[in-house]
Structure formats: C-alpha cells, structure tokens
Structure 1
Amino acid sequence: MRVSTKLVRFALPVAALALPLAAQAQVTKIKSNPQALILDAADVKAGTDMIFVSGQLASPVDPAKPMSEVKSIEDLGDTKAQTISVLGKIKALIEKQGYTMADLVKLTLFVASDPRLGKMDFVGANEGFKQFFGTAENPTTVARSTFQVAALVGPYYLIEIEAIAAKKKK
C-alpha cells in the first residue's frame, strides 16, 4: 500500500496543531448571577478528562444499619439528610478517581415526594446542596437539573443524583 506524500504533508501539520489544543483543554463554568445557587452552563473543551457517575442513593442515617433493615423514611432521613448522604457518596467516589467536588460540572437530581409533606422537598434538596457548594472548602457550584419523579427504586428514597465531573488532563 502506497501512501501519498501529499496526504502525509497535509496530515502531519494538522496532527501537530491538535497537540497544543489537547494540552489546553479546560472547563469553563458560566454563571451570570454571582448569587445564583447553580451555574448557567459548563463549557467542557475537547481533551478534558471526564467521569460520569451513575445515580446514587442515600445510605442509612445510622451507618451501622444494613440496607436490609431500612423500614422507614426516618432510617434514611428527610430530603436534606438524603441529599447530604448522596453528595457525600459522590464526593468519596470521585475523589478515589482523582477528582474533587470543584470538578463537578453537572448534576441531575431526581426527587420523589416526601409523604410527610405531600410534595417534593426542593428546599431540603437545596439545603443539602449548600453543604457541598458555595462553601469555604468548595466555593464553586455546578450546572444542575432537578426532576420530580413519582418514585425511586425503593419506597423510602427521596432523592437520587447523577453527576458529571471534568478536569484538565495532566
């Protein structure tokens, strides 16, 4: 098989141009209102490392209690407590992969109605969210969508969260 010298002369300079682009990969967080709880958007450039975290659910309030013994919402906590639990699990998961909470660019929240309130507890979810974003430890925030759902996988779960983190390649 013969390779055209014209192709090589064209392909090599194009490939050389792509290398600096990969080295400059970045994530830009876009926030038009500095007081807003969430971002307007996150611009993730090509060549950026990313991790996609599957939906996570809360753990029992009592860490010694196995999931098989969860018999009520009180065992998992209200929406705020469950949000803190889930974000804590996401934090631990991404940190094991070399990411931080500041690297999160997108969260998707699925929130079920709290039967004690008769509705979704959006305020509780936001209160839990504030424990991880806009803090001294992590002054950043993320782009976020929240959906009210009829139910989650178990009867006592009030929130499930998916996450996407992105950071510059090393």
Structure 2
Amino acid sequence: MWSWTLDASTNQGHAYPEEGSPLASAVWAGDTLYVSGQIASPVTPADPAKGTQAVYGDTEAQANSEFLKIQDILKEQGLTLGDVVSMHVFMAGDPEKGNKLDFAGLQKAYLKYFGTADQPNKPTRAAMQVAALAAPWALVEIEVIAVRSK
C-alpha cells in the first residue's frame, strides 16, 4: 500500500510508496494529479490451499477494477472521476478472443464511469495496443491525469 501525507501549506497530498517500491501510485504537480497506470485486482483471489490461481477476468472486468482503483486514489486526494482530464489506456490481446483486443469490453466499462447522468465528464482518451503488459495476465492498464478545480 501507499502512504499519503498532506502538505498543510498547499493542502495537497503527496504519494510515498512503501519501502522497496520503485514508484508512486500518484504524484501532484501543482493542481494536477498524475495517476500511475493501474492494473486489475483479481475477480477471484488465488487459493493456495486448493491450489487455484487468481482469476482476473476479461477486459471489461479488468477495466472495471481499474476504474474503481482510480476512483479510490482520486477520492483520497479530494478529487473525483469528474476531475479527470486525460486518460491513456494500454491494451493487450485477449487469448480467449484469439489474441484480439476487446475494445468493446473496455468501452462498456468506461461508459459506467464517464459520460453518465451522475458523472457527465468525458476526458480526452488515447487507447493503444501493446504486445504485452507487465503482468502476464493483464489485458488492460489505465492511467489518468486529473486537475483540481478552482
């Protein structure tokens, strides 16, 4: 997990990774929060007693998990998804779909969080295909940039 501290003079949080981690989950630069790429949490955790591996789900399930993580990071910093101004999405082919991208799955998850009646913000977005992501099971990774409203 990450340790967050609040600078009382600027009322801005700063991320400090736990010992041994090489990066922060988010970093403030002025009124702009840069959120590192997020990958999914397991839909079904591994069970060593049963010898089963974690299940991360398809592109839609992974994107849903990532949007929830991003939402939590933003909330810890006093922001919401409505403050997101830009998004970069990295996608790998899904072996269950013949190694093709599941852009429709990404879009289905995205539309639950952006451009809704409750949260009408639609950030700029770039989606790109990559050969693979750092975690071998990952199908999608999402990073965002959010700006504090004045």
TM-score, normalized by the shorter chain, greater than 0.5: yes
| 2:138 is the alignment partner of 1:157 | yes
Higher relative contact order (CA 8 A, sep 6+): 1
- For structure 1, the residue ranges without an aligned partner over 5 or more in a row are 1-46
Partner of 1:99: 79
Instruction: Return the TM-score normalized by structure 2.
Output: 0.73
Q: 1:153 to 1:70 in 2, by over 3 A?
A: farther
Mapping 1:76-87, distance limit 5 Å = 76-87=56-67
Percentage identity across aligned positions? Answer: 42
Letter in 1 for 2:85: V
Q: Which runs of 4+ in 1 moved over 3 A?
A: 66-72
| 2:37 is the alignment partner of 1:55 | yes
Higher-Rg member (1/2): 1
Q: What secondary structure is seen at the aligned counterpart in 1 of 2:136?
A: coil
Partner of 1:140: 121
The answer on whether the counterparts of 2:46 and 2:53 sit within 8 Å (CA) in structure 1 is no
Partner of 1:131: 112
Q: 1:133 to 1:70 in 2, by over 3 A?
A: farther
RMSD: 2.2
| 2:70 is the alignment partner of 1:90 | yes
- 2:116 and 2:133 map into 1 onto residues whose CA distance is 29
